Structure 1
């Protein structure tokens, strides 16, 4: 399974830890994020993640910025993307079970690193429930 990941300067520490976790889980990682602390613009690193997922180059994506909002908004501009901004593992479970989220947005300034890693584990261990939720997903327009 391939995971595309992108981050801005606020998410570098989290991104590096998440990459380590993903590799330990046997996942291949495509890194579009910055590896530094100098200020950068999150869309420059989020658009490539969304494009990877949208095109099928990656199975899922993870984006990390300070609040998670900008990254999520940017990713959700792409067709076929259902990026969920999550702040605890319960929201991650619902995003996967009910919304079939294919990109996880992490708010680095508002969650701890252990929380972030648990959320990533939850994202990949939770399946889409389908059923009534599938009908709802189909109503999200993809132009």
Structure 2
């Protein structure tokens, strides 16, 4: 299951991603926001991050205007490795090398077509399990 959340700036793109997850028959948990009304992104970053660290969901997707603030907020939760990705190469590399467990994107930076390709890349790319990457993740987690 994928935890997904956004603030008001990412609400419309979140709806596109949810529709895409449904088309792929991927279960998701919508952690909010549920309207375009102005709200605070750290609230939704924390909800998604906690769903991932508590193993309620395998991965998370977060969207705000730039993706920056929401990724910073998510990374405050111990055990989260949120990666801001605005291209498919970064989404692939962060899963292969960092075993990122949360994807962050900026709705004002990329359009829905690219965002859905990034989501697919992130979800479909496995962690490499290379010893050097495991060692580096352990250093991050310390």
Q: TM-score, normalised by structure 2?
A: 0.96
CA drift at 1:26: 1.8
Aligned residues: 141
Deviation per residue, 1:74-95 (Å, 9 max, x gap): 1101111000001101110111
Distance in 2 (alpha carbons) for counterparts of 1:128 and 1:22: 21
Residue 137 in structure 1 maps to residue 132 in structure 2 = no
Residue 43 in structure 1 maps to residue 42 in structure 2 = yes
Distance in 1 (alpha carbons) for counterparts of 2:79 and 2:33: 25
Distance in 2 (alpha carbons) for counterparts of 1:119 and 1:11: 15
Residue 53 in structure 1 maps to residue 48 in structure 2 = no
- In structure 2, the partner of 1:62 is 61
Q: TM-score, normalised by structure 1?
A: 0.95
For the residue of structure 1 that corresponds to 2:10, the secondary structure is: helix
* RMSD, aligned CA: 0.9
For the residue of structure 2 that corresponds to 1:98, the secondary structure is: helix
For structure 2, list consecutive stretches of 5 or more residues without a partner in the other structure: none
CA drift at 1:125: 1.0
Distance in 1 (alpha carbons) for counterparts of 2:141 and 2:104: 20
For the residue of structure 1 that corresponds to 2:39, the secondary structure is: coil
Q: Answer 1 or 2: which has greater helix percent.
A: 2
- In structure 2, the partner of 1:20 is 19
Matches within 5 A, 1:1-143: 2-131=1-130, 132-142=132-142
The runs of at least 4 consecutive aligned structure 1 residues that moved more than 2 Å come to none
